[in-house]
Structure 1
């Protein structure tokens, strides 16, 4: 994958994060992502930096979605 494609994917994942936070009404902490200091607008950062950011952001989003699914209450079935 080219650097430009990684930056685009990084931007898309950042939008998914915003959408997920808006949908759930929470602000999720992504410590491993935040510690990298790489944003989709950081075009001066290396391809490797963006790749690490994409993986960290994707891991954080999926972990939070998994946690949200596990803690959702399932309505009782009507008999």
Structure 2
């Protein structure tokens, strides 16, 4: 996937998170994403950094949706997203 496509996905997930944020207070859940200090507007950041942001956002969104409706997202999906977050963090450190 090209970097500009990653940025578009990143932006889409930010829109989803903002939508969910308007419906409930999820600032606490966003701490992982905020700590990355990257937004879709940071086009100078690497493809790997945007990829990690996508994984963190996906995981955060799944956690928020699960809090609202436990049956909405199966455990294995949430766990798989979290493992992708950890794997991408390792790859970015290397």
Question: Under TM normalisation by the shorter chain, which class is it?
Answer: 0.7 to 0.9
Per the alignment, residue 61 of structure 1 pairs with 61
Tell me whether 1:26 sits opposite 2:25 in the alignment: yes
Greater Rg by CA: 1
- 1:28 Cα deviation from its structure 2 partner: 3.1
| Higher relative contact order (CA closer than 8 Å, sequence separation 6+) | 1
What residue ranges of structure 1 are gaps of 5+ in the alignment?
71-79
Length, aligned pairs only: 69
- Over 3 Å off, 4+ runs: none
TM-score, with length taken from structure 2: 0.68
Aligned CA-pair RMSD: 1.1
Relative to total residues, which structure has the larger helix share, 1 or 2?
2
Consecutive unaligned residues of structure 2, counting only runs of 5 or more, are 71-94
